[in-house]
Amino acid sequence: MPVGLFTMVAIYLVCWWVVLFTVLPLGMNQRDQEQPTDGAQWGAPVQPNLKKKFLTTTWISAILWALIMVLVWLGWMPIPDLAPPAA
């Protein structure tokens, strides 16, 4: 494998965060939401379903990460070597 463990974990974490910010707004609808009277924020969802969104983010990120690793392994998406040359 042309990349190390640290690089693979870093790529997964970047994928996870990008997918999380893509998944978070899904299913949010404020049309049926009444104005809060208890001092809560108007834009805050009543049921955010974070556990479901985190699980969805995790499996989508795993699939995306596996696809990226296959592309790197095949050489279609090379990762440059940033290490300084040995003297």
Q: Which residues touch 25 (CB under 8 Å, ≥6 apart)?
A: none
For residue 36, being part of any structural domain is answered with no
Residue 19 counted as domain residue: yes
30 lies in a domain? no
Torsion of CA 24, 43, 46, 39, to 10 degrees: 140
In a domain, 31, yes or no: no
Give the structural domain span for 64. Answer: 1-25+49-77
What is the value of pTM for the model shown?
0.78
Cβ neighbors of 64 (< 8 A, separation 6 or more) are 15, 19
Q: How much is the mean pLDDT over the chain?
A: 86
Count of structural domains within the chain: 1
Residue 1 confidence (pLDDT) above 70:
no
pLDDT in tens, 35-62: 777 777 777 777 889 999 999 999 999 9
Q: Is 61 among the domain residues? A: yes
Q: Is residue 34 a part of any domain in this protein?
A: no
Local structure of 41: helix, strand or coil: coil
Token readout for 42 is 């108007």
Do the domain assignments include residue 2? Answer: yes
